[in-house]
């Protein structure tokens, strides 16, 4: 593919004031055990439908992030986010509780990074505080995209497990003299379709788009993987990640040792999720817990977060279309 | 409702280089007859499914806008847009044909104005040219949101008719000394839910959010309806528009004579669409044909375009939820 300069956006003042996470029981039983702000015992969250549970998780995560940042609702100018449900209803209905303007997004599992780039852009045109949130719920996604849960369909070994979780980030224009992680640069990726037809194998469908975005970003910014403490994709899964390593190698970039995947790192092997986690909540969970912790604790100075999304719908699969992928990227720095 | 200052965003350099429209046969047979760049004789557009026809309309409108602006594909940094289909697949699949980064949005029929605000913001953080597009197709929307077309269900007198059409706008950072219409200000609205349960009556569900956004905008900018040559909502329909006039009057704003609605003005009465047009393509069609023409021709100097969206899904209706509305607004000026 051809690369044209220069799509990378720069943000003068987009500080990460806070992050908040709410995770399901299986997610909290995984690798990041104990790192989430709230872990649910029951993924119904006291509601009568899974969809309402997902919505309540959004409401909780947004309120949690605002409170953790020592703000109140009226301080937040905009809420930017999305989810996997048709018409992004979890996000839209959660937005009813806020005084903030609402910017609804959909780019599948790339939605969280998309929200960080849009949110950072809004801070440059007049917004003061923005909350960015993205999430998913295993049980709502499974029955919308695949099969009724009660059917107990055998899962393919190349599948990922849609995680139950919502992550919310407060971006703010002013750091008040504090040393806060900053969203310094960002880029929305192109939609890339290599003709993968297997809706179970989304990692393979998304890996070419992840490669395309990473190469474009490195070229635009004249940087290399060595300039970063870590590069997180979300969510290629284990198979997709190994494909990405090969694709990047073909392009002359060695990412071994730098590359991690939010999905592949979410669950333990014994949890039988096969390729790992996925879902619009996955990178939101890992960024707002572990990655933000490493940046704030001083272990890391500069990371890349590349959100990957598979853009098909059940209808396009039924009509015989292949699966396009998209990858958006942000650079987060503590400087 | 309480209003908090100040959510309105300002854009230094967001020029409207071009607009392009493609409309279905019924739409071209309406009030704006002959004003669209391409009017289809057949809303299948040579494809074997309605969904693929909608996708092809997106591809055509984007290519048309780029060509009309004397640009080529590689000049466009970002494509910002969305549609009404689950997972916004018309937009996502059309994006495969572009070299541009993709920003997928969903805010129902407010998506077009949402794309103009996001696009204008991106021009302030490094993008040079952005294409904003939004669209809908009667036959894909009808069978996804309501009933199979073959069922021939009798329509309620409060319904609107989802229009078949896509509108695309090229926003550019530089006017090269030309007098071009500009997106000068914009605001994303709050999500407002007054408890309307009738999914056929979306105008009533959205009117309170339109009022909320207009009042917030007038307060933020210290302006009144008299400062504008026209105020277009899209798409409240006839009933929703008359509700908005009353709501604005309660707030002390007289909008009679200034207020027009993209949906209510799209079809002739004899076309039996009852409340008029709707759909993510409706305001995109009217803005990129008639409104842009009035601005470029010198008849108007300053207009407001307020995109209104009803954010429910079939699932939320089945689960007994009411219909939240959202309204985003842009000010377009020739100065």
Token pair of A197, please? 């037809």
Token couple for B35:
């004003």
Put simply, the answer to whether B315 touches A89 (Cβ < 8 Å) is: yes
- For an interface test with B, which of A99, A191, A312 has the most B Cβ atoms less than 10 Å from its Cβ? A191
What per-residue confidence (pLDDT) applies to A3?
Answer: 77
Tens digits of per-residue pLDDT, B263-296?
Answer: 999 999 999 999 999 999 999 999 999 999 999 9
Q: Which of 51-70 (A) contact B at CB < 8 A? A: 51-52
With CA atoms as reference, report the closest residue to B62 among B48, B81, B44: B81
Q: Is B121–A125 a contact, with Cβ atoms under 8 angstroms apart?
A: yes
Note the pLDDT tens digit of each residue in B190-225: 999 999 999 889 999 999 999 999 999 999 999 999
User: Is the CB of residue A156 less than 8 Å from the CB of residue A123?
Assistant: no
Q: How far is A275 from chain B (nearest CA, A)?
A: 23
Residue for token digits 């194998």?
A: A201
CA dist B253 and A222 (Å) reads: 54
Q: Please tell me if residue B183 touches chain A, with a CB cutoff of 8 Å.
A: no
Q: Label residues A148-181 b or e (16+ Cβ within 10 Å = b).
A: eeeeeeebeebbbbbbbbbbbbbbbbeeeeeebb
Q: SS in 3 state form for B268-286?
A: CHHHCCCCCEECCCHHHHH
CA atoms within 13 A on the CB side of A37: 26
Q: How many helices (H) and strands (E) does chain A have?
A: 10, 15
pLDDT confidence of B65, banded at 50, 70, 90?
A: very high
Contacts of B102 in chain A (CB under 8 A): 107, 188-191, 326
The DSSP call for residue B167 is E
Interface touch B311/A93, C-beta < 8 Å: yes
The pLDDT value given to residue A1: 67
Q: Give residues 298 to 327 of B whose Cβ lies within 8 Å of A.
A: 311-316, 319, 321, 324, 326
Percent of chain B predicted with pLDDT > 70:
99
pLDDT at B256 over 80: yes
The secondary element (H helix, E strand) that includes residue A302 is: strand A302-310
**Under 8 Å between Cβ of A240 and A159:** no
Mean pLDDT of the B12-21 span? 97
Tell whether B9 lies on the interface with A, counting CB pairs under 8 A: yes
**CB pair distance less than 8 Å for B86 and A315:** yes
Comparing CA positions, the residue from A290, A291, A267 lying closest to residue A277 is A267
Q: In whole angstroms, give the CA distance from residue B6 to residue B224.
A: 16
Chain B environment of A98 (Cβ under 8 Å):
190-191
Among all residues of chain A, which has the CA nearest to that of B84?
A87
Q: Is the pLDDT of residue B2 over 90?
A: no
Residue to mutate among A47, A73, A188, A329, with most B CBs inside 10 A, is A188
Instruction: Taking residues B73-99, report their average pLDDT.
Output: 97
Option in A92, A144, A326 nearest B191 (CB)? A92
Query: Which residues contact residue B150 at a Cβ distance below 8 angstroms, ignoring those fewer than 6 apart?
Result: none
Distance from CA of A174 to the nearest CA of B (A): 17
Per-residue three-class SS string for B177-221? CCCCCEEEEEECCCEECCCCCCCCCHHHHHHHHHHHHHHHHHHHH
Listed residue (A301, A323, A19) closest to A171, CA to CA? A19
Collapsed DSSP state (helix, strand, coil) of residue A171: strand
Say if the Cβ atoms of B311 and A52 lie within 8 Å: no
Residue segments in chain A with a per-residue pLDDT below the cut of 50: none
Mean pLDDT rounded to a whole number for chain B:
96
Q: Looking at the complex, does the CB of residue A77 fall below 8 Å from at least one CB of chain B?
A: yes
Q: Is B257:B245 a contact under the CB 8 Å cutoff?
A: no
Query: Contacts of residue B87 in chain A, CB cutoff 8 Å?
Result: 86, 106, 108, 311-313, 316
pLDDT of residue B160: 94
CA atoms of A267 and A318, how far apart (whole Å) = 30
Coil, strand or helix: which one is B206?
helix
pLDDT at B1 over 70: no
Rounded Cα–Cα distance for residues A30 and A68 (Å):
24
Chain A residues in contact with B190 by the CB 8 A cut-off are: 95, 98-102
B positions 135-164 inside 8 Å of A (CB): 144
* pLDDT tens, position by position, B25-41: 999 999 999 999 999 99
Reported as a single tens digit per residue, the pLDDT across B136-176 is 999 999 999 999 999 999 999 999 999 999 999 999 999 98
- A vs B, Cβ pairs < 8 A, gives 192
| Domains detected in chain B | 9-172 (3.40.47.40), 182-333 (3.40.47.40)
Report d(CA A315, CA A322) in Å as an integer. Answer: 11
Residues from chain B contacting residue A55 (CB–CB below 8 Å)? none
A6, A96, A312 ranked by CB distance to B193: nearest: A96
CA of A119 to nearest chain B CA: how many angstroms apart? 10
């Amino acid at each position: 593919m051809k690369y044209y300069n220069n799509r990378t956006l720069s943000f003068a003042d987009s500080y990460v004031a806070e992050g908040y996470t709410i995770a399901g029981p299986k997610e909290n039983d995984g690798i990041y055990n104990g790192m989430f702000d709230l872990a649910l015992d029951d993924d119904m969250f006291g509601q009568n439908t899974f969809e309402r549970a997902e919505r309540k998780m959004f409401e909780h995560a947004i309120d949690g992030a605002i409170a953790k940042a020592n703000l109140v609702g009226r301080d937040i100018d905009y809420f930017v986010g999305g989810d996997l449900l048709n018409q992004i209803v979890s996000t839209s209905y959660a937005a009813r509780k806020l005084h903030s303007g609402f910017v609804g997004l959909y780019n599948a599992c790339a939605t969280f990074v998309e929200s960080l780039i849009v949110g950072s852009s809004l801070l440059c045109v007049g917004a003061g505080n923005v909350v960015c949130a993205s999430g998913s719920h295993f049980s709502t996604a499974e029955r919308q995209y695949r099969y009724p849960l009660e059917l107990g369909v055998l899962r393919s070994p190349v599948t990922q497990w849609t995680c139950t979780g919502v992550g919310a980030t407060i971006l703010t224009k002013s750091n008040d003299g504090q040393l806060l992680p900053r969203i310094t640069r960002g880029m929305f990726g192109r939609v890339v379709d290599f003709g993968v037809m297997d809706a179970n194998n989304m990692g393979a469908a998304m890996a070419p788009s992840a490669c395309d975005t990473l190469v474009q970003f490195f070229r635009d910014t004249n940087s290399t993987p060595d300039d970063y403490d870590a590069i997180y994709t979300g969510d290629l899964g284990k198979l997709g990640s190994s494909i990405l390593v090969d694709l990047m190698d073909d392009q002359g970039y060695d990412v071994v040792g730098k590359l991690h995947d939010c999905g592949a790192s979410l669950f333990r092997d014994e949890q039988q999720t096969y390729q790992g986690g996925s879902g619009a909540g996955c990178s939101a969970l890992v960024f707002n817990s572990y990655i933000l912790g490493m940046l704030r604790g001083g272990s890391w100075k500069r990371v890349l977060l590349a959100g990957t999304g598979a853009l098909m719908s059940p209808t396009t699969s039924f009509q015989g279309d292949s699966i396009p992928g998209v990858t958006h990227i942000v650079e987060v720095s503590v400087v």
